[in-house]
Amino acid sequence: MQPLRLTPKVPVIVSSSAFTTRYSGASDPSHRSRAQAVRANGIGPNSSQTPACEFGPWNPQIGSQVASDPSAAYVDESFEIDLAESSDSDNVPADDVGNGAPSASVKTRSPADEYMSDVEEVDDGSVTASGFSEMEEAGVGSWEHRMKALESLAEGLMPPWEQEGLMKDVSGLSVDALVSADAVYNKELSWLAFNWRVLYQALDKRTPLMERLRFLAITARNLDEFFCKRVGALKRQQAAGMANLIGHRSSWLWTPSQSLKIVAREVEQLVQMQLQCLQQDLLPSLRKHGISLVHWDELDTPAKDKLRAYYRAWLEPIITPLAVDPGHPFPFIGNMSLGIAVALRDPVDDDHEFAIVSVPNTCNRWHPLVRPNEEGSNEERNAFISVEEIIKANLASLFGGMEITSAHFFRVTRNADVERNEDEAEDLLEMITDEMRERKFAPFVRLEVDCEMPEEVLLKLSQELGLDSRDDVYRICGPLGLGEIDSIPVNLDENAKRAIVFTSWAPQTHPRLKGADIFDTIRHGDVLVHHPYHSFGTSTQHFVEAAARDPKVQAIKATLYRTSADSPVISALIKAAEYGKQVAVLVELKARFDEARNVGFAQKLENAGCHVAYGLVGLKTHCKCIMVVRRRRRAFGHTCTSAPAITTRAPPLSTPTSVSSVAAQNSVKTCEISSST
């Protein structure tokens, strides 16, 4: 028996045969760095504490060793883990621990500041190791293999959670049984369950009609991001052969392939509910309010003639049909872009060809129409047709002399989970710029197609994109890209708006900030403001703008994570630099999907004379903080718990504050404007 002392920030229980770990958020949330430590808690079967989020099954053979001392499992302490050798240590099932298999015992010691990667000398001197090579010389079995397995868990392959507290072998279960069994827990399904909650807001008839449409669009945008990030990560793990490591470690862990199959089926159900909500509920209800989406076949001849003229003037010049054949490789298709797959036949020699027409994203998705109202007068109403339908109806102008045998819409999603190695990066800005370029050409992870697309066209398209026609393709019997459904430019009068949107309201100016010099006000005491209930413009924004103009202000220091394209804070910082003040800004370049915007802001601030830092290696700066240094030996600071939102809409009581982009508008933002010596 050779004890090893590991020093994690959170206690860890390890079964050396099955590499079983227990993950929990029961301890200090600040100790959740996956990259630095295996985060785990030993939770005994008699414990009263409830696991927080991501867990592995409780191993009774290991857990019984600490069950007698429940406090030892929940205190941030370091443990000594004793690993016993076995002639066949890597092939013994977890249930055989204690029967000639490797075993583990847990001993607590005083809290330590080191992480699990540190290996120290144990008091009894049985192991004097400080690294993997010396560990091997000490004769500690397949230690390197065990550590690699644990590191894989720590980097995101979280074990499933069994609520009953007993480990079960689920390797023989079907996909249906896996989903319904309480023995497993999958974080991808957890995220999809969250998106179901958002969709429920779109289904809730108590929510105003246009707000329900907005919630539906949010679920679609959330799903797009889910495929870019989470499904993209699973695809990358699958390509790297992660299933082999997982299968060698244990049969009850989710493999990437298993997760992808479960996700595909769950997403199919979610998408079907989205379409039912739109087509059977929202669109019929919107028609009653004079708002409608129409198809080309529903239009009369004069309306079609007007749209053909619009097509020739505005769309045809920017459309390029692209043939796909041995002499013309498959064209580049951008992430989240719409296209039309066109099957053609040459009437002269009866040759069949295939072409792609990309729908331009530089024009408005929804084109307004002038249609007769119910009384028959020719009056403009809120009727719209999608631009892709206009293009599809006029494809003949692009393929002169060819017969169009079929034309169907499709939409692609690319992987946004690009591998990033910050430790080896010499320049964060250059690394993020390269990552954005790499993401532009990343592999495809999803293909959405018109449900009427012929099978041979679908197979051709999926093969060209490198996707599985069964698990990666989603047939949509409705408009593709529902995330843009709330961008319809509806024009309603105030009376009509009241019935279908949230009641508008104006943010209030904080009583202490009305007509007063903001620095004098802060000097007499801190000011606590709540966004969006208190006006952003008369508090946070006014604070920064006043600092930029005030001749007594010497310096402004700020952190930026996500900002709007026309951010008044950015403008104020640039003005401050132009006035000769010292301006230092930390711009977090690693804000997912906002990297390009933040890179642009960083360069804009640098050009104005600001000192710009690009974040810290290995960390993502989420905090939003501004400090203003002013003469008279006092420094005035403004700190905010999260990015303040500017909104003129009051949230209904039924609106949850945890819903994606809506949370940024509805949740209370607490800010404190304070002074310090």
Which residues are designated catalytic?
Answer: 622
User: What is the Cα–Cα distance from 303 to 298, expressed in whole angstroms?
Assistant: 10
Supply φ then ψ for residue 628, to 5 degrees: -110, 125
Q: How far, rounded to the nearest angstrom, does the alpha carbon of residue 639 sit from its chain's CA centroid?
A: 26
Quick count: other Cβ atoms within 10 Å of Cβ 504? 12
* Helix, strand, coil distribution of the chain in percent, nearest 5: 35, 20, 45
- DSSP letter for each residue of 243-286: HHHHHHH-SSSPPHHHHHHHHHHHHHHHHHHHHHIIIIIIHHHH
* 3-class secondary-structure state, position 598: helix
* 3-class secondary-structure state, position 526: coil
Supply φ then ψ for residue 614, to 5 degrees: -105, 25
Contact 90, 248 (CB under 8 A): yes
Contact 416, 593 (CB under 8 A): yes
Sequence-ordered list of residues with C-beta below 8 angstroms from that of 356, at least 6 positions apart, any chain: 321, 322, 324, 330, 331, 333, 339, 340, 341, 342
Q: How far, rounded to the nearest angstrom, does the alpha carbon of residue 395 sit from its chain's CA centroid?
A: 36
Supply φ then ψ for residue 550, to 5 degrees: -65, 125
Contact 41, 75 (CB under 8 A): no
Residues in the chain: 677
**649: nearest Cα among 211, 120, 230:** 211
User: What is the Cα–Cα distance from 475 to 242, expressed in whole angstroms?
Assistant: 29
